[in-house]
Every structure is written in C-alpha cells, then in structure tokens.
Copies of this chain bind each other. A is one copy, B any other.
Amino acid sequence: MSNIYDTAYELEKNLREASVFTELSAAYTAMREDQVAFQLFEEFRNVQIGLQQKQMTGQAITDDDVASAQAIAERASGNEVIQSLMAKEQQLSQLMEEVNAIITKPLQELYAPAKD
C-alpha cells in the first residue's frame, strides 16, 4: 500500500496539471495585469479578510459590514476580468470540495450519529 504522504503529493501533482487549475492560473495572471481589475480584487479581498477576522475573534457582523461587502462584491463582479477569475475559482472550489469529501469520508462515517 502506498504511503499517505506519497499519495498526497501525487494529488498535488494531479491538481497542478488539471485544466481547471491551469485555467485559473491564467485568469489570475490576466487579473494581475489589469490595473482596474486588480484594484477591485484587492478591495474585495480586504473586506473579506476584515469579516473573517471579526468572525474569528467572536465579534458581531453589523448590517453596515454586510452592506459594504455586498457593494464591493457587486462592483467586482461587474468587471469582466474578475468575472472570468471568479468563474474559474468557483470551478476549482467545487473540485476541492469533492476531493475533500472523498478523503474525509472515513471521518464522516466515524462521527456519524450511531443508529442504535
């Protein structure tokens, strides 16, 4: 039986060579090279990080926080370069969720409510 780490490295290689990853990589480079798109991307990311930090430190998310997150999300998703990047991110995120569901199945089963 192969080692769990060897298999993990093989999975990393598979991911790096998967078309969804190479396409995401190209979409990211295109965004970095577009000044308007890059600025929107950074603004969006900063708002996201701010919200995550609030959640992680147990602070309440205000209506204003939600409103400003929605506002930048709308502006960012109105940009075509960002749109292409987000579409690829969505595809990759779906793939990673599927991969994660497969590899964590033994744990899901272990902690599933017993049927006795």
Contact = CB atoms under 8 A, between A and B. Distances in A.
Given A2-B10, A11-B103, A25 B110 contact: yes
Interface residues of A, number: 43
- The dominant DSSP class at the A interface is helix
A17 interface: yes
A7 B10 contact: yes
Copies in the complex: 2
A49 interface: no
Contact of A4 (B2, B9, B18, B106): B18
Interface string A1-28: 1111101111111111110010011001
B15 A4 contact: yes
Contact of A3 (B3, B14, B55, B98): B14
- Nearest 7 pairs of A and B residues by beta carbon: A58-B61, A4-B14, A60-B60, A8-B102, A7-B11, A16-B106, A8-B99
